[in-house]
């Protein structure tokens, strides 16, 4: 028998029991199975699985791999990793970086892919495996919403620069007539002591952002119509690419995920032929062994691994939910994570070889021209490209690469949101028109919300959301995911689920799972706590800045509220799950961490070899008992049925 929550009581096989009422066999979910009189024949071995809506699957394994690589290899690989590498000891930074990769990044990546693939469900529905932690999925949805809100603004900036790159000379180069006076003054001074703005900085601050017209967070000013058009175009492209779900986005990634590698190779080859490129590469990789003793270096390594892999946002879980049940998830994890980190290291050569040439041309140190974040992508690197022969071509190529990197990452974040909603409201998945209208409404809502970020003071709001959307809230969500799977769902059961998916698991596979088990139970939670502690200390001691502007206390408090809203969902929905159960508080807790009977149903319907992939005691097969009239009239019918 089942309790009110739909879970089987302890000690009872998780079967879909049926009860005979008035001569008819009726399953516990209320649907009539037969209209024949009751007989005493043994139960049929045929599985009576709940009917679910057919779920899409990737057209091939390369679509999934490319989608995940495109999702992970984003703008942070190009504009954040090289800067962190030179700031934290050059080549020495690779030591903590790869340690954090194999102790934190790979285990969490495998956990999220395996959970999505085994449950064949999105970030919310997949927590049928442990209803108490449904808030983790809601929290992932909140993080994805904040990321999508500001990430497409970057694509809008990229569009603006891409359109401007078709002008010759480039509008931010010294060859442009409007910049002649600026460049002549810079040449005469030939140093950075006066801190005069370069043409690229003026183009970025005045023509693109309009930040010079805003006093701060409290003064957003009007919407910049050029960026509004670029943002609209970006969301239209996202809508069209995702219109048919993974059937359309899975084909787009063949271009968007591979094109950036082509551009990086071309930029590296071009950079290697430039004067001063070796000084830039040396600046990038020269080791400073003393930096290994700094906690900041280890925190930067862990944070970069965490954020570049896109863990805890729901995108990985959603994309894995469209895999075939027997996909080798361990192989995919190793390929994607190593490919992502290799790309980060590889992109550093493309960045610093050309920055080294710019430093040589200006007669300054490489550190004076190096930057991170938007400052690298939209100020330092465009200025370096403007110094090259054929600068228009190189600029178009670079901003096309940034566009592809941004779109791929946004695909993953949007997939996390749409999959979560479609799984919660399956009728949308059945009706193509409703699904398209939902996607259009979602994209248009994001567009309207994003208009705040493209005002004159929009960069202040952009920096605020960027700083706190993936801050302590995301770490807490991932920490609870790791602890919940390890101790509530059961790490041994989870490892067995992975073996069931791989089916023909070679001997090395089981040994690797022992390592991952140790990480999930001990090492990974410990390192997540380390990152979390460091974030809180830094957030308390360090004021938030954009350039010379220091954020007011109310602005920083607003950012803390955004991050708290994401992680507090775990507490809220945990209380809801416990309140739905019956019994003492201990009984309620134990029931709320038990998988629902509908857990794994999607996989059972997506495979034709159920008996090979599902443990017999977990199959929701019919179980028949016979009740008399007394069972329905006596007050003690429950006692009678137990007897």
Residue list, annotated binding site: 70, 73, 77, 308, 340, 405, 408
* Separation CA 231–CA 443 (nearest Å): 11
How far is 186 from 416, CA to CA, in rounded Å? 48
> DSSP assignment of 514-573, as one string?
HHHHHIIIIIHHHHHHHHHHHHHHHHHHS--EETTEEPPHHHHHHHHHHHHHHHHHHHHH
Torsional class of 46: left (φ above 0), alpha (ψ -120 to 50), beta (otherwise) = beta
The rounded distance, in Å, linking the Cα atoms of 639 and 643 is 6
The binding site for Na(+) consists of 70, 73, 77, 308, 340, 405, 408
Q: Report the distance separating Cα 353 and Cα 284, nearest Å.
A: 9
First CA to last CA distance, the chain: 13
| Exposure string for 626-643, b = 16+ CB within 10 A, e = fewer | eeeeebeeeeeeeeeeee
Q: Can you tell me the distance from the alpha carbon of 268 to that of 551, in angstroms, rounded to the nearest whole number?
A: 38
Alpha carbons 127 and 131: distance in angstroms, whole number: 6
Are 456 and 209 in contact, with CB atoms under 8 Å apart? yes
CB 496 within 8 A of CB 613: no
CA distance 350 to 405: 15
Find the angle CA(79)-CA(84)-CA(89) to the nearest 5 degrees. 145
CB atoms closer than 10 angstroms to residue 342: 12
Residues 559, 546: Cα–Cα separation, whole Å: 14
Peptide bond before residue 169 is cis, with ω within 30 degrees of 0: yes
């Amino acid at each position: 028998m089942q309790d009110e929550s739909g879970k089987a009581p302890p000690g009872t096989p998780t079967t879909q029991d049926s009860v005979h009422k008035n001569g008819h066999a009726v399953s516990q979910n209320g649907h009539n199975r037969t209209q024949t009189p009751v007989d005493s024949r043994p139960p049929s071995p045929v599985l009576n699985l709940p009917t679910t809506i057919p779920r899409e699957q990737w057209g091939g394994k390369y679509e999934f791999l490319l989608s995940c690589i495109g999702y992970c290899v984003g703008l942070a690989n190009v504009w954040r990793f090289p800067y962190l590498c030179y700031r934290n000891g050059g080549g020495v930074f690779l030591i903590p970086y790869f340690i954090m990769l194999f102790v934190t990044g790979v285990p969490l990546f495998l956990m999220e892919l395996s959970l999505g693939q085994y449950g064949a469900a999105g970030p919310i529905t997949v927590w049928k495996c442990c209803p108490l932690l449904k808030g983790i999925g809601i929290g992932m949805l909140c993080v994805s919403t904040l990321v999508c809100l500001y990430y497409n603004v970057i694509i809008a900036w990229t569009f603006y620069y891409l359109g401007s790159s078709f002008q010759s000379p480039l509008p931010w180069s010294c060859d442009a007539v409007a910049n002649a006076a600026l460049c002549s003054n810079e040449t005469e001074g030939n140093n950075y002591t006066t801190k005069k703005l370069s043409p690229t900085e003026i183009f970025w601050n005045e023509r693109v952002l309009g930040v010079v017209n805003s006093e701060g967070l409290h003064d957003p000013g009007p919407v910049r119509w050029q960026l509004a058009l670029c943002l609209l175009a970006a969301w239209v492209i996202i809508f069209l690419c995702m219109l048919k779900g993974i059937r359309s986005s899975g084909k787009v990634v063949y271009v968007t995920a591979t094109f950036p590698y082509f551009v990086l190779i071309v930029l590296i080859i071009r950079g290697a032929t430039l004067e001063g490129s070796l000084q830039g590469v040396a600046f990038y990789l020269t080791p400073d062994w003393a930096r290994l003793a700094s906690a900041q270096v280890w925190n930067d390594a862990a944070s970069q691994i965490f954020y570049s892999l896109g863990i805890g946002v729901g995108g990985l879980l959603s994309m894995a939910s469209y895999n075939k049940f027997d996909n080798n998830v361990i192989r995919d994890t190793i390929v994607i994570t190593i490919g992502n980190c290799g790309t980060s290291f590889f992109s550093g050569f493309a960045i610093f070889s050309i920055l080294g040439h710019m430093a040589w041309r200006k007669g300054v140190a490489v550190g004076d021209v190096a930057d991170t974040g938007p400052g690298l992508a939209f100020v330092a690197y465009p200025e370096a490209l403007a110094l090259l022969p054929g600068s228009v071509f190189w600029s178009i190529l670079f901003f096309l690469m940034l566009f592809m990197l941004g779109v791929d990452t946004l695909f993953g974040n949007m997939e996390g949101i749409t999959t979560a909603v479609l799984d919660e409201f399956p009728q949308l998945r059945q009706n193509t028109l409703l699904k398209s209208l939902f996607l259009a409404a979602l994209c248009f809502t994001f567009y309207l919300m994003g208009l705040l970020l493209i005002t004159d003071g929009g960069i202040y709001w952009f920096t605020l959301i960027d700083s706190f959307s993936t801050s302590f809230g995301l770490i807490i969500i991932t920490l609870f995911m790791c602890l919940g799977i390890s101790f509530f769902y059961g790490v041994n059961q989870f490892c067995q689920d992975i073996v069931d998916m791989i089916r023909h698991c070679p001997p090395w596979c089981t040994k690797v799972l022992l390592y991952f088990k140790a990480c999930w139970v001990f090492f990974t939670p410990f390192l997540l706590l380390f990152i979390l502690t460091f974030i809180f200390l830094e957030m308390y001691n360090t004021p938030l800045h954009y350039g010379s502007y220091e954020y007011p206390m109310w602005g920083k408090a607003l950012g803390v509220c955004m991050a708290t809203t994401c992680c507090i969902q775990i507490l809220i929905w945990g209380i809801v799950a416990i309140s739905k159960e019956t019994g003492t508080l201990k009984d309620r807790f134990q029931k709320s961490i038990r998988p629902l009977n509908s857990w794994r149903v999607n996989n059972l319907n997506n495979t034709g070899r159920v008996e090979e992939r599902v443990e017999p005691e977990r199959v929701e097969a019919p179980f028949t008992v016979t009740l008399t009239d007394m069972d329905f009239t006596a007050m003690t019918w429950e006692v009678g049925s137990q007897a």
